[in-house]
Structure 1
């Protein structure tokens, strides 16, 4: 095939990125269709008068993103593409309400974005269409109060296989996100006016729900191996919210010693632990960490899970696993509450899971995010070196960096001059002033590997 592409060596963009962008655009436009063989690396390098490394780097990125595929002893070919009708740009939202001209931002290290370019839209559309084709009238109504029984059955099987959690479908409650799950628990446990212990720093979205519903928050500091158990015992709280597998936002894992002590704390009275296992699927340096719920022989752990990171936040699907005693209480105390998540989406997900598409998607996304994570850490090491400290880099879709003796607002302004938007983690501290001013939070889920490398390179130049 002939390549009519002009690589401009005078542009700031590297040549490999120009080539990568050109091929990607041609595939998305339908000019390069599935089954077309790409020119050999050596041949294309000679044709474009660039190094083989330039071609290899562009091809490797396109293979990683699924635009091309490498076949043994056959070469590089254009892959079949999903019919993606989604905008691949992230939706920007500033936490501190500061004004940012989005037109000047090319690289947004926003936490919470996902790799929409890798979403299996065709398979998801098939599941939704299959759900609609049944003609079931209940899909157009309010749905079962605890959520679709068929979905809860699939979830119980999945959690047993993937997380080692043994539970019945009757213990699972489907919700429209983690915050509605917390709201449900506040009402179920009559928490208004009660003391709730909370990791500090911790997820502000959950903390806000507790506060708005009248709970008295008791912040508990973190140590290198997780929440300070001694402090927790002194709070007088009978409920604690924790993220033990990957503490949010600092990233440490709750040690096995502290897991046992935390369970002992709950067992010593009428106490419960809320375990938010928000991104357990994505761990890069070891196997996934077993949840507290898998060690919960006295049934004291309320387990929260979500499809926002592993699947898509737009589905608005999360779930609670209730201890048996609270499951019975739910059926009486909240019996008149309607289900908050649409039955059609629930049924579509149940079919998606039953057909094996969800587990295949998880396996694919582990590879996608691991490659992005490697690119991020490698780029930080290359362009920033020992001038920063990485924090919480072993799992999840974000990490923190400590740019010693620097102020976040200065770092942010310098980044914006290079078209890069960074974010502060200060909102996760109960007292924002307690957050070190030199901390930067880098989310990478919604960026391509090339964008990650380019963005970090620009930050390195702007900061040092």
Structure 2
């Protein structure tokens, strides 16, 4: 090879040898430099690039250490044979994933995870954050309690005690950045590898994914209107069950009292545990809030899981576990040395947000706003679709389930909607085993939390015109 056309930025803070190394490595991995191709000699490259020989030697040495090139005695440097197709496949997958997850192009995004950010008291949150930074500048930057800051745990304990009927102390609460992180902690704590985990069918796939990645076996249990199918659960051999009794995802049904009692009896008889996911239970639009399952627990079988993901902002990644007292000793023995995954600054800010009454006011305000949006999306569907659709009214949460009365395939409708600038989700994705799906007509999940009233009405109207 006569030369490599390398452009060096001599004003950059990146050393010249690193720039040379990066360029050659990129050319090799992208297939522009073929195996067994010779590289220019150090003397020739030094003259061409106007750099000293030590710079070139350092760059070539790094490439040799990584196995990208080799030095042949009295023969120079050559590109080694490597499987660059491996990197091309990874790049292709990453590009596909990026395309799949990019939602900014949708004019009407019925995203299940989006919330109303316009009504979040950002000025209050900013003021409290500044207060945290000014009052506790030094200690707030140090590593805190791996269980989570005590002040926030005390505020959470007060909240769940009065709002959800949860019986606990601050000592039982473990704070983490996300429900999936906390589920991994439960898997480690109880030792669920190779064990059977019962989940609702249909259900929350992100939770199921955590259990599968940990090495658990999944037992999908049919969800009935009043709760899980008790016979299927009894025959599952499960060591733990994941359920959301106050809002059974995705239809939003409530587990009735007898099913709750039966579930607790099952856990006691089988020395099993129940993970109660209480996600968005505070946003119930008719009747009173349903007390938690943990409120009925007398034998310490329920592990309570809560999060502020949907009730504050998704970017404020704060969730929490409430462990039964007898599991605390095992937590301190085996899990306590794990680092806390949530920013101490956000923990302290949320503590002040709750202690000063902002959290309670925000919850009640958002409940009214979401209740109006809930009514808007139902009215819009009924007005546009009439007898061509059925809405499953769960009366809780930030999404609805829509059944479309048509002979067209679900995937076709999904693609048509997205081409029209509308993002929504297929209900089929919530079934662990597709053979268990009893619905013939296409079914979709539409989140309304992040849309305005006008966007909901316009989005539903366009959706109808797109499909019919």
CA distance in 1, matches of 2:266, 2:101: 46
Cα offsets for 1:148-194 (capped at 9, x unmatched):
00000111111111111121100000011100010000111111111
The residue number in structure 1 matching 2:297 is 296
CA distance in 1, matches of 2:212, 2:330: 23
Q: Is 1:426 equivalent to 2:428 in the alignment?
A: yes
Instruction: After TM superposition, give the deviation of residue 136 of structure 1 in Å.
Output: 4.7
Aligned length: 371
Instruction: After TM superposition, give the deviation of residue 109 of structure 1 in Å.
Output: 1.1
SS at match of 2:402: strand
Instruction: After TM superposition, give the deviation of residue 391 of structure 1 in Å.
Output: 1.6
CA distance 1:101–1:142, shift in 2 (3 Å): closer
The residue number in structure 1 matching 2:172 is 171
Instruction: After TM superposition, give the deviation of residue 416 of structure 1 in Å.
Output: 3.7
The residue number in structure 1 matching 2:446 is 442
- Of 383, 405, 408, 1:406 maps to 408
CA distance in 1, matches of 2:190, 2:163: 29
CA distance 1:266–1:452, shift in 2 (3 Å): same
Instruction: After TM superposition, give the deviation of residue 434 of structure 1 in Å.
Output: 4.7
SS at match of 2:451: coil
Q: Is 1:461 equivalent to 2:462 in the alignment?
A: no
**Bigger radius of gyration, 1 or 2?**
2
The residue number in structure 1 matching 2:27 is none
CA distance 1:143–1:103, shift in 2 (3 Å): closer
Instruction: After TM superposition, give the deviation of residue 417 of structure 1 in Å.
Output: 4.9
CA distance in 2, matches of 1:103, 1:152: 36
The residue number in structure 1 matching 2:288 is 287
SS at match of 2:306: strand
Instruction: After TM superposition, give the deviation of residue 204 of structure 1 in Å.
Output: 1.1
Cα offsets for 1:306-328 (capped at 9, x unmatched):
00011111111000000000122
Instruction: After TM superposition, give the deviation of residue 251 of structure 1 in Å.
Output: 1.5
CA distance in 1, matches of 2:106, 2:270: 52
CA distance 1:95–1:157, shift in 2 (3 Å): farther
Whether the aligned pair in 2 keeps the contact of 1:111 and 1:442 (CA below 8 Å) is yes
Whether the aligned pair in 2 keeps the contact of 1:143 and 1:342 (CA below 8 Å) is no
Whether the aligned pair in 1 keeps the contact of 2:149 and 2:348 (CA below 8 Å) is yes
The residue number in structure 1 matching 2:329 is 328
CA distance in 2, matches of 1:160, 1:236: 32
What do you get for the CA RMSD once the two structures are aligned?
2.0
CA distance 1:425–1:141, shift in 2 (3 Å): farther
The residue number in structure 2 matching 1:239 is 240
CA distance 1:95–1:119, shift in 2 (3 Å): farther
Q: TM-score, normalised by structure 2?
A: 0.76
Cα offsets for 1:304-361 (capped at 9, x unmatched):
0000011111111000000000122111111211111111110110011011001111
Cα offsets for 1:201-233 (capped at 9, x unmatched):
111111111111111111111112121111001
The residue number in structure 1 matching 2:276 is 275
Q: TM-score, normalised by structure 1?
A: 0.76
CA distance 1:267–1:95, shift in 2 (3 Å): farther
Q: Is 1:147 equivalent to 2:148 in the alignment?
A: yes
CA distance in 2, matches of 1:184, 1:246: 23
Bigger mean CA offset, 135-144 vs 111-120 = 135-144
Gaps of 5+ in 2: 1-94
CA distance 1:287–1:451, shift in 2 (3 Å): same
Q: How does 1:65-464 map to 2 (within 5 A)?
A: 105-404=106-405, 405-432=407-434, 434-435=436-437, 436=439, 438-464=442-468
Instruction: After TM superposition, give the deviation of residue 99 of structure 1 in Å.
Output: 5.6
Instruction: After TM superposition, give the deviation of residue 101 of structure 1 in Å.
Output: 8.7
Instruction: After TM superposition, give the deviation of residue 142 of structure 1 in Å.
Output: 2.3
After TM superposition, the runs of 4+ consecutive aligned structure 1 residues lying more than 6 A away are: 94-98
Cα offsets for 1:364-411 (capped at 9, x unmatched):
110111111110011011111122111243111001111133322222
